[in-house]
Structures are given as structure tokens and as C-alpha cells.
Amino acid sequence: MSNILFQQRIKKLEELKKEGVALYPNTFRVDTTIFQFRKMFGEVDAQTLEQEKGPYSFAGRIMAVRNFGKAAFFHLQDRTGKLQAFIQKESTNNFFLLFKGLDIGDFVGIKGKPFRTKTNELTLLVEEICLLSKSLQPLPEKWHGLTDVETRYRQRYLDLIMNPAIRRVFEMRSATIQALRNFFLARDFFEVETPMMHPIAGGATARPFKTHHHALGIDLYLRVAPELYLKRLVIGGMERVFEINRSFRNEGISTQHNPEFTMLEFYQAYATYKDLMDLTEEMLSEVVKSLFGSLRIPYQGETLDFNPPWKRMSLRESLFSVGGFDSEFLRDPLKMRNFLETHSVTITDQENIGKLHTDLFEAIIEPQLIQPTFVINYPVEVSPLSRRRDDNPSEVERFELFIAGREIANAFSELNDPNDQKERFLKQLEEREKDADIPPEIDEDYIRALEYGMPPTAGEGIGIDRLVMLLTDSPSIRDVILFPLLRPELKG
């Protein structure tokens, strides 16, 4: 590190050391947060404050300094906010010793009492100050802060120091997950953790990450979904289970996709996909209400309205009512192909009617579904784990929830017929592109589990990252993941 600012700080560090200052002590005790301090004295007038002796002790990072030679103002930032402190020669015994050697970015402990400045700002009069940890790297500029997105993602700690708003995003993320967990616990669901490393990649068709276990001498796959394990638990008698955890998909990266992402999956025996629609409305409106106190929230210039009931339409209906296609068109593979090609959708030769309909849906309908909308009754070809409809076996009992033009949830009545399941697995295997990295295997144990009998069950997956994007008005999934995956930096 050749930069001069770094060298200057190393020099200061050595000078402090020479003076006998402990550079990284851990003996300072904090008794007050900045939030608590404001709560206690935020409304108290200057005269009354004079009676207040303290001392109160705080710790945090120095974020700005305004120096007057024999006195100075500075901002201290802790996890709860920023506070102005005033330090002066006459009332701080180690003023000269320390203050000369301090830099913006250093952690300090301060003790003192509250007062109000001429401009009536609540301020701490510092009676004692000590260095807690030296910052050798200079922080970004105080006014513009850190805006370079690459640096914000690579050095998220800097982003968190400089941009308080990003901290609020992750507080919202935590609160969302907490609210979801409480929702399920209150309804007698059982929280579990199932394997991340699978001998056979199943539960979705995305390409998996591959790894190797040396002692066992076998290849393993990071899970693309927890689905098949959670349903084994239902078979085992866990009639209501949920898991909130990571899945991994070895696919492209975009504003909607990170290779590792967080999913909520839950299964409820003796329920149907229709029950889950009701449950989902209840769940998300409860979460939104608890976070915002309202069911209408802003997202990227739109207002999302979570007031139930939400619109429900079949995939076919949506092609008519939202897409404006007619039934003749929807029966004609050639016309649909031509149409899709003019909308630059790439299609393979062996696509059937069902796949063409979902292509049309994804290209034309999905982006238009801004308000929460359930789309139901998908073709069986694109739903290998879903139960067929009794009145139309070419379709399945399934819904996807769309909000702001994006898929947020996917749910279905589960296929619990082991013979049908095995046939669909085999069909899937036939259609899958050959990939040397993924052996053509089906999960025989899952079939065996089904043969013991799975109760009629409905299950759902919700993309937590995408949900948090909506709740925090974030345009990119990287804004709601603390450390999104990036290519490694070049060294030197």
C-alpha cells in the first residue's frame, strides 16, 4: 500500500505508541447508546440540561471533525446513530495527547455530560476520551459518501459505515424473516434444516454447483431446492414444516438472480394450493402491515397494494384477458412460434403447446402483473412435482404469485402418486440436455418414500430476496444481499 494517507496514519500510530497510548485496548465500558441518549435528553431544554452531570459513556467511530485549535466538535457514530461531541482543552485532561493523533474513522470511547450548543443541538461535553481502535485506511468523503456500486458490494463494510440507508435495508430484511418465522410458528408449523449437499440434484431443474467429498469419495451437489427433503418429512409425519435457508443455482447473474439465494419453503398436509393462496394473502399482508402499518407500499414509482383478496386467474385466462390472444392463436403452434420469434424469445424445436403458452406468459403477461396476482393451473409438462387437476389431467393444481412483474412465490398441491412421479422423473430425464457434470439419475429414495404414502399436501416456495426487494424499494437483488457474488478483484 503505497498511498500517502496510509503512511501518515502509520506514523501517527507509532507516535501514539511512543507516548504510551494503548492502541487497541478493550477495557472501555459503554453504558449508553446514542439512541438512548437522544431519547433521554432530546426534548430537554438547555437550562434543565445544565443540572445533568452524567457522566455517560459512549463508544463509536469518529465520522467528522471541526477543529478550532483549543476546542473541536466531532461526530461519533454508533450502531444507533450519530451524536455531536464537543471537546475542549480546559475540560478534557488528555486533550492534547490524544486529539492530535486521532483521525476520522478511528474508534474512540468518550465520557461526558449533555449540553446544548448556541444552535440548540444536543451535544456531549467530553470529559474523557480514549482511543479504542485506529483506522489506517481513510474513509470516503463526508458529503458525497461512497457511491461506486462495485466498491459498495466488494467492501460492504464501507457501504454500511457511509450509507445509513443500506443498514435499514438489512434491518428490514431481518424483520421480514422474523415476521415470516413468527407467522408459521403461530400456526403450528415446525422449522427444520435439511441438507445443503445432495447426492442427487433434485426439486428443480436448474444447473447445480458440484463439489466432492474426499472421505466418502463421492460427488455432491449444492441443493437447487429443499423440496424433496421437506416432503420426505411430511411423509415422516411432520404435517406442517418450513425451512428458511439458502439454495444454489449455477446460472446467470442478474438484478433478479444471485447464485445463492434465500428461499422460504413450507408444506402443509391436508391442504390444497387453494388453501395456500389464502394463507399467502394472509401471510404477506400481515408482514407488510407489521413493517409499514399500511398495506400500500411504494416500489420503483408504483404503489403496490397488498389488500386482500388478490386477483386470481388461470394462465390461460391471463393470455386472453391480459395478453389479448384468441383461442385460435393459442391452438396454433406455428403462429405462436412466429409471434415469440418476433419478440426475440428463443424456442427449441420440441416445445409443445404447454411450453409455448408459458413462453408467451413469461414474455408478455408476467411483466404486466404489477399488483399481487395469483396465476393458476399450469400445464403438467412444466410442473413435474405437482398434482394433476381432477377435471383436467393435462393441467396441475399450481399457482405462482406475481408482484411488480416478477415471480415471488410458486406453490402447488403435491404429487403423491409414486407411479406418476416416477414416470414424470423419467420423462424429465429424457428431455434434459446432456451435461457431463450431472449424471442422469432420478431420486429413487424419494420414490420409495412416496411408496410409503404421502398425505395429500400442498407446498410453496417464496423467494425471500425478491420479497425484500419489494419491501425495501430496491431495484437489484444485490442491494438486499450483504455480500453478492462478484468476480475476484485483481491483486496489486
Binders in 235-254 for RNA, by CB under 7 A: 249, 251-254
**Residue pair 52/97 in contact by the 8 Å Cβ criterion:** no
Helix (H) or strand (E) holding 284: helix 273-292
**Residue pair 270/239 in contact by the 8 Å Cβ criterion:** yes
298 forms beta bridges with 303
Q: Return the number of the residue (142 or 331) whose C-beta is nearest RNA.
A: 142
Which 79-108 positions form the footprint of RNA (CB under 7 A)?
84, 86, 88-90, 103-104
User: What's the rounded Cα separation, in Å, for the pair 179 and 68?
Assistant: 49
- Torsion angle (degrees, nearest 10) of CA 263, 269, 273, 275: -110
Do strands 240-248 and 190-191 pair parallel, antiparallel, or not at all (unpaired)? parallel
* 8, 182, 300, 303: residue in contact with RNA (rule CB under 7 A): 8
CB of 283 to RNA, least distance (A): 21
Q: Return the number of the residue (372 or 484) whose C-beta is nearest RNA.
A: 484
* 194, 290, 307, 476: residue in contact with RNA (rule CB under 7 A): 476
**26 near RNA, judged by CB under 7 A:** no
**Interface stretch with RNA, choices 115-123, 167-175, 274-282, 327-335 (CB under 7 A):** 115-123
Residue 475: asked if its preceding bond is cis (omega within 30°), the reply is no
**4 near RNA, judged by CB under 7 A:** yes
CB of 324 to RNA, least distance (A): 20
CB of 404 to RNA, least distance (A): 12
Helix (H) or strand (E) holding 62: strand 56-67
**45 near RNA, judged by CB under 7 A:** no
**182 near RNA, judged by CB under 7 A:** no
| ∠ CA 18-23-26, rounded to 5° | 145
> In one letter, which amino acid is 3?
N
Q: Return the number of the residue (189 or 378) whose C-beta is nearest RNA.
A: 378
> In one letter, which amino acid is 332?
D
Q: Return the number of the residue (94 or 117) whose C-beta is nearest RNA.
A: 117
Which 149-168 positions form the footprint of RNA (CB under 7 A)?
149-151, 153
Tell me how many residues contact RNA (CB under 7 A). Answer: 72
**141 near RNA, judged by CB under 7 A:** yes
For the window 183-202, what string marks contact with RNA as x by the rule CB under 7 A? Answer: --------------------
> In one letter, which amino acid is 251?
E
Which 311-350 positions form the footprint of RNA (CB under 7 A)?
344-346
Q: How many other C-beta atoms are found inside a 10 Å radius of the C-beta of residue 377? A: 19
* 17, 23, 93, 142: residue in contact with RNA (rule CB under 7 A): 142
User: What's the rounded Cα separation, in Å, for the pair 1 and 210?
Assistant: 37
Q: How far apart are the first and last CA of the chain?
A: 9
**486 near RNA, judged by CB under 7 A:** yes
